[in-house]
Amino acid sequence: MLFHFELHDAGWATVFFAQGAASHELPFSYLRDSPRDMIEAVVRLLRGSAEERVTFMQEPGEVVLQMRRLAGDLIHLKLFEGEDWGMADVAGGEPVFRHKLPLARLPGIVEAEFGRMLRESSPADYQARWGFAFPAQPLEEMRARLR
């Protein structure tokens, strides 16, 4: 699975999910610190959480990433879009992207993407472009759980 964050200027970013022919790219804003939320959600899954959600705020609209634990330590990722805030129908809507993968693979995918971001820019540049500090502490906790 491909997972990619691209920071833009003035508090905007894009996240890209892809697996095989299925992909989804979405812009989102700094109204929520979704990159940090993503790492923290993965850490909670590693601690045993059955389901986590990460909201990517748009202006207007939102996309919610649902990560649900399945039997055999699989994680089912689903992206749901809503035309306005609070309107992504996670309970009954049709996801715009879905993929299943072993829980053991998810932290490595997320860690690799944030590691790439650190190699390509500094934490100060990240904060200047995103508006929030680089999520170093949750990233380190996730890395510790990978060891």
Question: What three-state secondary structure class fits 6?
Answer: strand
DSSP class per residue in 39-81: HHHHHHHHTT-SEEEEEEE-SS-EEEEEEEEEGGGEEEEEEEE
Return the DSSP state at 94: P
Tell me the per-residue pLDDT of 74-125, one tens digit each, with 9 for 90 and over: 999 999 988 877 878 888 889 999 999 999 999 999 999 999 999 999 999 9
Question: What three-state secondary structure class fits 101?
Answer: strand
Q: What is the pLDDT of residue 145?
A: 84
Q: What is the pLDDT of residue 13?
A: 94
Q: What is the pLDDT of residue 67?
A: 97
Q: What is the pLDDT of residue 53?
A: 96
Residue 147 confidence (pLDDT) above 80: no
The sign of the torsion formed by the CA atoms of 1, 41, 68, 55 equals negative
Give the domains, in start order, of the chain with CATH numbers: 3-145 (3.30.2450)
Tell me the per-residue pLDDT of 125-135, one tens digit each, with 9 for 90 and over: 999 999 999 99
Mean pLDDT of 67-76: 95
Tell me the per-residue pLDDT of 33-49, one tens digit each, with 9 for 90 and over: 999 999 999 999 999 99
Q: What is the pLDDT of residue 119?
A: 92
Q: CA nearest 53: which of 75, 38, 70?
A: 38
